[in-house]
Structure 1
Amino acid sequence: MSAISRRKALIIGASRGLGLVLANELVRRGWQVIATTRQGGGELQANADAWHGRLAVEFLEMTSPEQLDALRERLEGNDCRLDLLFVNAAIDRGDLPIHEVSTDMFTEVMTTNALSPLRALETLRGLVAPGGTVAVMSSDQGSISRNTEPGYELYKASKAALNQLMRSYATRHADDGHTKLLIDPGHNQTQLGGPGAPLIPQESIPNVVDVIEAQTGAPGLQFLDRHGESVPW
């Protein structure tokens, strides 16, 4: 078995859309992949069955610290060492101006899109091998300098918060030897992106994986698009 075929990844949030395509693309490239979902069955489990052990499914509600701890304990019990920890999670509750957003909606979106991904990284980072990569699916919607058109104020704010928290994470763990990435995959046809988006995950995700593999070992934190170009903060 080659060194490449032994690479191992954990994808948080892979039941559908970008996360599902990402898990499958990594397996196609010889990675051993663990992918999480909140519920059993579905396309992820069907793909896991088809890959004959190269794609394993774990159950996780990412917003639950207790479930994150339990996942870490299960993986530690299996002596799991990761080359890639990738967190893919986002929700959108519609295109409302911020003064029409309820406190509950604000809390839900910020918890899912910003707080929980960083909790996941902090809980699971100890599983990442020296020289490994921690990455989060972000969006150019979180770029403050590119926020020049109206709409989706809460979603944009949550992604900007995610980026800022990832910057703090990278500062706090500057000497851990991990590559740290925020990835903008572009506007894709997913449940979140809608059917009218210009991209499909089957086209954009291979580019994302190219970027991940090319950046292995790179120092510091980078905010990159699917072509490996820097996204302005």
Structure 2
Amino acid sequence: MSTTTNTTTDRRALVVGASRGLGLVLAEELCRRAWQVVATARHDSGELHATARTCDGRLTVESLEMTDPEQLAALRERLAGTRLDLLFVNAAIDRGDLPIGEVPTEMFTEVMITNALSPLRTVETLRDLVAPGGTVAVMSSEQGSISRNTEDGYELYKASKAALNQLMRSYATRNADDGHTKLLIDPGHNRTRLGGPDAPLLPHESVPAVADVLEAQAGAPGLQFLDRNGETVPW
């Protein structure tokens, strides 16, 4: 009698920002595909822990407030020796639809720190856990595309995602020879707390497509800005 080994079970991912919404569904989807997944939540997440209980030991939960550099450093220490095939950073807040002239300084700072600075700090802190040939991916948005900014609204959120894209471009340029695939992912307008109840997409429909893109692009060189269908999003 012959036996076969399923090497896909050796794949390991860290999903940062998985307490709810797209990050939670991505962690669940990767588990379904037999990845070993570490997923982080800012606070105790009943949904994430419930998902972990259905994943037959393939999902472990870590606590992380990614805007706190000390917590990032502590997570890095806890994961010392871990080899990642995928580091996926998911974080975004939206503080409403105000023209930029009406945005308080404190709101501007909060959104930029959460949506742009903190994801790149997270990547910088955890990147050495990613194996050669592994993938570093960050959840972006078509809203960050300058060339597609042709409709009014959500100026601060759009600016934060454009800043995220620019920072990721700088990161990719500086680390061009590290052997990592680098991706910015636009998942589409999903029905989440951030996307709102009228969004046209459901996470359980769009996230499997995102996972397909992550798996298909593994090993690809350079930085790409792709949508859930693997199509290039213009900068």
* TM-score normalised by the chain length of structure 1: 0.98
**Identity, % of aligned positions:** 77
Q: Which residue in the other structure is 1:40 paired with? A: 44
Residue 187 of structure 1: which of 166, 189, 192 is its match?
Answer: 189
Which whole-Å deviations, capped at 9, do the CAs of 1:104-138 have from their partners, x for residues lacking one? Answer: 00000000000000000000000000000000000
Residue 80 of structure 1: which of 79, 82, 100 is its match?
Answer: 82
Task: Evaluate the alpha carbon distance shift between residue 16 and residue 41 of structure 1 in structure 2; reply closer, same or farther with a 3 A threshold.
Answer: closer
Structure 1 CA distance, aligned partners of 2:131 and 2:63?
A: 23
Q: In structure 2, give the amino acid aligned to 1:38.
A: R
Structure 1 CA distance, aligned partners of 2:193 and 2:109?
A: 21
Q: Which residue in the other structure is 1:205 paired with? A: 207
Structure 1 CA distance, aligned partners of 2:57 and 2:9?
A: 13
Q: Which residue in the other structure is 1:9 paired with? A: 13
The yes-or-no answer on 1:59 pairing with 2:63 is yes
Provide the aligned length of Structure 1 versus Structure 2.
Answer: 231
Q: Which stretch of structure 1 is more off in the superposition, 33-42 or 97-106? A: 33-42
- The secondary structure found in structure 2 opposite 1:57 is strand
- The secondary structure found in structure 2 opposite 1:91 is coil
Which whole-Å deviations, capped at 9, do the CAs of 1:147-177 have from their partners, x for residues lacking one? Answer: 0000000000000000000000000000000
Q: In structure 2, give the amino acid aligned to 1:52.
A: D
Deviation beyond 4 Å, 4+ runs, structure 1: none
Q: In structure 1, give the amino acid aligned to 2:115.
A: N
Structure 2 CA distance, aligned partners of 1:74 and 1:121?
A: 16
Q: Which residue in the other structure is 2:26 paired with? A: 22
State the 1:52 CA deviation.
2.9
Q: In structure 2, give the amino acid aligned to 1:149.
A: E
Unaligned runs of 5+ in 1: none
Q: Which residue in the other structure is 2:108 paired with? A: 106
State the 1:3 CA deviation.
1.6
Unaligned runs of 5+ in 2: none
Which whole-Å deviations, capped at 9, do the CAs of 1:76-109 have from their partners, x for residues lacking one? Answer: 0xx2100000000000000000000000000000
State the 1:50 CA deviation.
2.0
User: Contact 2:82–2:129 (CA<8 Å) still a contact in 1?
Assistant: yes
- The secondary structure found in structure 2 opposite 1:66 is helix
Structure 2 CA distance, aligned partners of 1:71 and 1:47?
A: 21
- The secondary structure found in structure 2 opposite 1:51 is coil
- The secondary structure found in structure 1 opposite 2:136 is strand
State the 1:41 CA deviation.
3.8
User: Contact 2:191–2:197 (CA<8 Å) still a contact in 1?
Assistant: yes
State the 1:49 CA deviation.
1.7
Structure 2 CA distance, aligned partners of 1:225 and 1:12?
A: 19
Give the alignment of 1:140-155 within 5 angstroms: 140-155=142-157
Structure 2 CA distance, aligned partners of 1:80 and 1:134?
A: 15
Structure 2 CA distance, aligned partners of 1:41 and 1:207?
A: 25
RMSD: 0.6
